[in-house]
Every structure is written in structure tokens, then in C-alpha cells.
Amino acid sequence: MSQAEAARAGSGGAAGSGGAAGSGGAAGSGGAAGSGGAAGSGGAAGSGAAAHPGRTRSPLWTFGILRSELTTTLRRWRTLALLGVLAAVPVLIGIAVRIETNQGSSPGPAGGGGGPAFLSQVTNNGLFLVFAALAVTLPVFLPLAVGVVAGDSVAGEANAGTLRYLLVAPAGRTRLLLTKYASVLTFCLVATLVVAASALAVGALLFPVGEVTTISGTRIGFGEGLLRAGLIAVVVAASLIGFAAVGLFVSTLTSSGIAAMAATVGLLITVQIVDTIPQLSGIHPYLFPHYWMSYADLLRDPVYGDDVVKNLGLQGLYAAVFGSAAWARFTAKDITA
């Protein structure tokens, strides 16, 4: 069942219950019954729970609503196209490194040229393609994809005219907003895992795999290296939760999905530019992308986690602040579409 259909189904149930309330009024008089029925229907349009104060509320976290939202989000052609682009990035990096290696030169900084982090180690161990691909996609491609999905989460529904139907269903604005945010966070994880899985497959196909040399110079087994790669993918996904909350807040400010996506992506670019200006170094630690690359510390032996903890704490702060702002805006917003 699509999201709009589920909403309409909820709307129909609420309207029917409202009609029952009107029928109850028929004990007084027939005219009152008609009036009561109309009132029940009107109350359902605003909020199903408000029309029936005695009805038991469902739990705040409804997995049915979340499942429907995730299905809708992940089946959109736009989302599939974004995931396809993200999966192609490690393929292009792996092919480029392979061609350069066959020509007798060494890729990356170690070979005298520029390149993303970990690129010079890819030829010795294909597992490093996972780390190199995340280093390439995290500053630009991953947040751009998240910005598109987050910016369209609420504004896209309003623009398509389905937001009112979702609110007619007995879901409530708070629960709906939480579901939207949860679906965006799930996309963050899915997108990161797509990059990591594509890089791991390409790396194992084009390059040898084996023991991993850490940044500290020590060697660890391939199994432990694989576990660290999975942990790094999770940390990278968690690094996007603050930006996802920013995108969700922007999405509640407008009824145009395109405007919300453009504003979210524009904000991302602006913040990243500010993070590179030395004269503004005093505010850098408070910008959400500042600690994004701290995941590299998980490849040290022993693991150095101070910057990782700072990153996760900063993302949680952004999620709390902008999530609260999105809730305040959305719960007070006049939904007309």
C-alpha cells in the first residue's frame, strides 16, 4: 500500500468513527444526530485523536508507519539514482587506480601526486578502497544525497498534496515527523553501506586483500580490518545525523520540495566553505562537518577516539537543536496542502 493510500485508509476509518459519534447524538434528537456526525467528521480531519478523547492512543513509535515511509523513500527513482551514483564512485576510483598502477606509477600522495586519503595503499590491499571511497564521498556525495532526501521529506509531501492525508490518518504530527527523520537516518546508513559494499567488492576484484597496515604502522588481520571497515561505515553514517536534522528543519519551512532541497544543499556548501577559512577558525569546531574525517582515527593502533567522540557529540547536539526547531515549526504549521 502506498503512503497516500495508507493515509486515505486512516482518514476513512477516522471519518467512520466520527460518524458513530454523530449517531450517538441521535439519542437526543435527529437534528442533533446530523450535527454531531458533521462535528465528528470535522474533528477527524484535524486530528483523529482529538475527535475521540476517550480512544486509546497507539504507541508513539509505530513500525507500520515507518515501514510505509521507508518503502516509499527507497522505491523512488530519485533515491535509486542517488544510490546508483554513490555505488559508481568506488568503481571509478578502483578502475582509475588500477590503470595508473599498470602504467607503472603509484597513485595518491605517496606517488608524488595528489589524491584522497588511503589511495596510495589501495594497490597493496583492496580493503583500503573502502576507506578511500568514504574519504571521497563523505565531504560531497553522501551529504548531497542526504540533503536531497531530507529536504524533500516534508516539503515534498506538501507540494504533492499528500501531507493533509497523512495528518488525517491517526498518526499525529509528532509521530509523523519522527518517522520522517527516522527514514532519513535510515537512508544515511543505507547510502554509506552502499558505498562501502561497492568499494569492498571492487577492491577484492581488482587488488589483493590480506593483512591491513594501520596508520600507526602496525599490522592487523584481515578479519579485524574488515570489522574496522564496518565500524567506520557506521561512524560515517552517524556523522550525517546532524545535517539530516538541518535538512528536516528546512523542509518544514516551505511547501516546495525543490526549494527545500536547494536550500539544504546550499547551506551545506556554505558551511563547508566557512570551515576552510583560517580567519574563522574559532567557530570551526562548532560546524557540523568539521570532524567528519575523524573516522580515520579508527585505523590507528591503538584506536584514537577523541575526535570521533567530539564528532558524535556535535552531531547529537545539531540533531537535538534542529530536530526541536523542526518539531516546533511542524506542529504549529497550518497545513493547507
Q: Between residues 111 and 99, which one has the greater pLDDT?
A: 99
Q: What is the mean pLDDT of residues 58-86?
A: 81
Dihedral sign computed on CA atoms, order 91, 96, 99, 101:
negative
For the ranges 11-25, 109-123, 155-169, 271-285, which has the lowest average pLDDT? 11-25
- Asked whether 126 and 199 are in contact (CB, 8 A), the reply is no
Q: Between residues 281 and 14, which one has the greater pLDDT?
A: 281
Q: What percent of the chain stands above pLDDT 90?
A: 47
Q: C-alpha distances in angstroms, 105 versus 2, 60, 93?
A: 53, 58, 15
- The pLDDT value recorded for residue 236 is 96
107 preceded by a cis bond (ω within 30 of 0): no
Place of cell 562537518: 289
For residue 63, give the C-alpha cell: 513500525
Q: Is the pLDDT of residue 109 over 60?
A: no
For residue 120, give the C-alpha cell: 596510495
Q: Is the pLDDT of residue 20 over 80?
A: no
Task: Give the residue among 201, 200, 197, 206 at the shortest CA–CA distance from 101.
Answer: 206
Confidence of residue 154 (pLDDT cuts 50, 70, 90): confident
- The pLDDT value recorded for residue 247 is 94
For residue 297, give the C-alpha cell: 582515527
Q: What pLDDT, in 10s, does the model give residues 282-294? A: 999 999 999 999 9
Confidence of residue 303 (pLDDT cuts 50, 70, 90): confident
Q: Which long-range contacts (CB under 8 A, 24 or more apart) does 214-219 make?
A: 214/299, 214/300, 214/301, 215/296, 215/297, 215/299, 215/300, 215/301, 216/300, 216/301, 216/302, 218/301
Residues ≥6 apart with Cβ < 8 Å to 211: 125, 219, 220, 221, 222, 225
The span from the CA of 48 to the CA of 11, in Å, is 8
- The pLDDT value recorded for residue 36 is 38
Bridge partner residues of 212 (DSSP): 220
Q: What pLDDT, in 10s, does the model give residues 110-121? A: 444 344 568 878
DSSP state at residue 158: H
From the number of C-beta atoms within 10 Å of its C-beta (0-12, 13-18, 19+), residue 198 rates as buried
Looking from the CA of 184 toward its CB, the CA atoms found within 13 Å total 31
* Numbers of helices and strands, H then E, in the chain: 14, 2
Place of cell 444526530: 33
Rounded to two decimals, the pTM is 0.75
- The pLDDT value recorded for residue 167 is 63
Q: Is the pLDDT of residue 301 over 80?
A: yes
Q: What is the mean pLDDT of residues 253-268?
A: 89
- The pLDDT value recorded for residue 110 is 45
Task: Give the residue among 101, 139, 145, 160 at the shortest CA–CA distance from 273.
Answer: 139
- The pLDDT value recorded for residue 239 is 95
Confidence of residue 152 (pLDDT cuts 50, 70, 90): confident
- The pLDDT value recorded for residue 162 is 64
Q: What pLDDT, in 10s, does the model give residues 195-232? A: 999 999 999 999 988 888 888 888 999 999 999 999 99
Average pLDDT along the chain: 78
Confidence of residue 170 (pLDDT cuts 50, 70, 90): low
Q: Is the pLDDT of residue 149 over 50?
A: yes
Q: What percent of the chain stands above pLDDT 70?
A: 72
Coil, strand or helix at 221? coil
